[in-house]
């Protein structure tokens, strides 16, 4: 297939899948830039982009979705990362990479969590984003109230000062813990001169990338992760990780990964595991064309991954009405978990296990739910069943 030239450039250079922005956004943005540059055809505009770095940068800034907020995924998640780093440190300074860092909320949240854990500056935190405008905003470290929308996690009283109508500036001491720069994760030379990192956060990027670009990103992440290190995605992105180089840590379905060559043969015990973050609330809008009833669990998972939980749930319900299957019930459970309906999720996972007692995903999540409400006996029974399963192939 011959891709239109502008789309081809965007896919090749930054790995963006234009459809991930919704069907209308990419054509609208390109048309607006062409009109700003008074260029009449996409072929001519592709020529301008290839020759003029300023125009390329202007287009990229229009295409990236840099929105984030403090403690996205939950304060508890960042607290656990801080604790994991403290254990990992053992007298040295662990290295953390946040890519993409958006406007800085993610790496600063980790710096704040280290501060709150009583170990400020324990780790060096490198933060990288494709968008120079986002990196500049991160350097300014001034945020609107919307950046503090994570429930139960408002760091403003201790760590920010009000600097104008509805704007707060982060304490310079916390800012100093984060080193910001521009970089492209899908470029072959991404951070080529850097030593490996103990912890890499790569959250809310894979949803925007083409399969091919995710492959390039993963090769870089593998090169940059230190032995024994952890890679963290979001749960919605966990199954977009191309197979091979990384393996889910602890139990299948979690969003934390180790290098495959270091994966233990059995699911990890609790210690050393980083918990699953809360589901992302701001996944991109799905193009209308993709809202048609999905014919497969893969398509329904894609809907759920893109944040369209209601449509994904409706697809599951239709499917189980038509012919119950463990795969559909388990997906229903995952969707209910993401929507915060633990009770419904549990009953779906139980139905999945009724149909397929060896269903790995349902066993994993049900064990986690039992753990959460303190039912240690049933949880360990489920884990024993998991441990008896044959190894999953990546």
Ligand X SMILES: C[S@@+](CC[C@H](N)C(=O)[O-])C[C@H]1O[C@@H](n2cnc3c(N)ncnc32)[C@H](O)[C@@H]1O
* Closest separation in Å from C-beta 15 to ligand X: 5
- Residue 387's contacts (CB-CB under 8 Å, 6 or more residues apart) are 266, 267
Nearer Cβ to ligand X, position 72 or 383? 72
- Residue 91's contacts (CB-CB under 8 Å, 6 or more residues apart) are none
Nearer Cβ to ligand X, position 114 or 283? 283
Nearer Cβ to ligand X, position 115 or 150? 150
Nearer Cβ to ligand X, position 214 or 383? 214
DSSP state of 338: H
- Residue 20's contacts (CB-CB under 8 Å, 6 or more residues apart) are 207, 208, 209, 284, 306
CB of 210 closer than 8 Å to CB of 16:
yes
Nearer Cβ to ligand X, position 218 or 315? 218
Is residue 15 close enough to count as binding ligand X by CB under 6 A?
yes
* Closest separation in Å from C-beta 145 to ligand X: 17
Q: Which stretch binds ligand X (CB under 6 A): 66-74, 141-149, 303-311, 322-330?
A: 66-74
Q: Residue 143: phi, psi to the nearest 5?
A: -130, 150
Q: Which stretch binds ligand X (CB under 6 A): 102-110, 155-163, 255-263, 346-354?
A: 102-110
Q: Which residue has the tokens 């408002």?
A: 154
Nearer Cβ to ligand X, position 160 or 328? 160
CB of 81 closer than 8 Å to CB of 232:
yes
Binders of ligand X among 162-221, rule CB under 6 A?
Answer: 184-186, 203-205
Is residue 39 close enough to count as binding ligand X by CB under 6 A?
no
Nearer Cβ to ligand X, position 127 or 304? 127
Q: Which residue is nearest to ligand X (CB)?
A: 68
Cα Dmax for the chain = 69
The residue from 81, 130, 252, 386 that contacts ligand X (CB under 6 A) is 130
* Closest separation in Å from C-beta 280 to ligand X: 8
Is residue 100 close enough to count as binding ligand X by CB under 6 A?
yes
Please give the sequence-ordered ranges of beta strands (E in DSSP) within the chain, or none if there are none. Answer: 95-98, 124-129, 142-144, 160-164, 167-170, 178-182, 197-201, 225-232, 246-248, 256-259
Is residue 131 close enough to count as binding ligand X by CB under 6 A?
yes
* Closest separation in Å from C-beta 376 to ligand X: 33
Q: What Å distances lie between residue 138 and 103, 142, 283, CA to CA? A: 4, 8, 21
* Closest separation in Å from C-beta 387 to ligand X: 32
- Residue 78's contacts (CB-CB under 8 Å, 6 or more residues apart) are 71, 109, 110, 112, 113
Q: Which residue has the tokens 């009583």?
A: 118
* Closest separation in Å from C-beta 20 to ligand X: 10
Interface with ligand X (CB under 6 A), residue total 23
Tell me the C-alpha distance between 338 and 346, whole Å.
12
Nearer Cβ to ligand X, position 15 or 155? 15
Residue in 277, 205, 294 with CA at minimum distance from that of residue 16: 205
Tell me the C-alpha distance between 338 and 303, whole Å.
13
Is residue 17 close enough to count as binding ligand X by CB under 6 A?
no
Binders of ligand X among 79-98, rule CB under 6 A?
Answer: none
Is residue 129 close enough to count as binding ligand X by CB under 6 A?
yes
The residue from 11, 33, 72, 383 that contacts ligand X (CB under 6 A) is 72
* Closest separation in Å from C-beta 321 to ligand X: 35
Nearer Cβ to ligand X, position 80 or 327? 80
Q: Which stretch binds ligand X (CB under 6 A): 64-72, 166-174, 225-233, 316-324?
A: 64-72
Is residue 337 close enough to count as binding ligand X by CB under 6 A?
no
Tell me the C-alpha distance between 16 and 214, whole Å.
10
Structure-block tokens of residue 272: 């050393």
333 three-class SS: helix
- Chain residues binding ligand X by CB under 6 A are 14-15, 64-68, 72, 99-100, 102, 105-106, 129-131, 134, 184-186, 203-205
């Amino acid at each position: 297939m011959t891709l239109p030239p502008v789309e081809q450039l965007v896919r090749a250079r930054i790995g963006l899948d234009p459809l991930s922005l919704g069907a209308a956004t990419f054509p609208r943005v390109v048309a607006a830039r062409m009109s700003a540059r008074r260029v009449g055809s996409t072929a001519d505009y592709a020529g301008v982009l290839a020759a003029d770095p300023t125009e390329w940068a202007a287009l990229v800034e229009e295409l990236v979705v840099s929105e984030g907020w403090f403690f996205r995924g939950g304060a508890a998640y960042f607290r656990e990362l801080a604790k994991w780093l403290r254990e990992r440190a053992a007298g040295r300074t662990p290295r953390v990479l946040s890519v993409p860092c958006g406007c800085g909320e993610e790496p600063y949240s980790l710096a704040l969590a280290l501060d709150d854990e009583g170990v400020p500056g324990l780790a060096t935190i490198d933060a990288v984003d494709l968008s120079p405008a986002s990196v500049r905003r991160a350097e300014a470290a001034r945020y609107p109230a919307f950046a503090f929308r994570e429930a139960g996690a408002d760091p403003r009283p201790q760590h920010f000062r009000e600097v104008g109508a509805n704007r707060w500036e982060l304490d310079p001491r916390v800012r100093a813990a984060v080193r910001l720069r521009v970089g492209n994760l899908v470029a072959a030379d991404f951070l080529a001169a850097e030593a490996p990192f103990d912890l890499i956060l790569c959250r809310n990027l894979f949803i925007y990338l083409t399969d091919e670009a995710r492959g390039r990103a993963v090769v870089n992440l593998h090169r940059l992760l230190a032995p024994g290190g952890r890679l963290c995605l979001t749960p919605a992105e966990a199954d977009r990780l191309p197979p091979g180089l990384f393996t889910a840590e602890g139990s299948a379905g979690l969003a934390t990964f180790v290098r495959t060559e270091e994966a233990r043969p059995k699911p990890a015990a609790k210690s050393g595991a980083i918990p699953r973050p809360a589901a992302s609330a701001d996944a991109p809008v799905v193009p209308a064309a993709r809202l048609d009833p999905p014919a497969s669990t893969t398509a329904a998972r894609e809907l759920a991954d893109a944040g369209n939980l209601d449509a994904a749930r409706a697809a599951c319900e239709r499917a189980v009405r038509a012919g119950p299957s463990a795969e559909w019930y388990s997906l229903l459970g995952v969707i209910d978990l993401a929507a915060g309906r633990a009770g419904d999720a549990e009953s779906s996972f139980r139905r999945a296990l009724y149909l397929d007692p060896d269903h790995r995903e349902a066993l994993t999540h049900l064990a986690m739910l039992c753990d959460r409400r303190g039912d240690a006996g049933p949880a360990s029974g489920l884990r024993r069943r998991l441990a008896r399963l044959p190894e999953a192939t990546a």
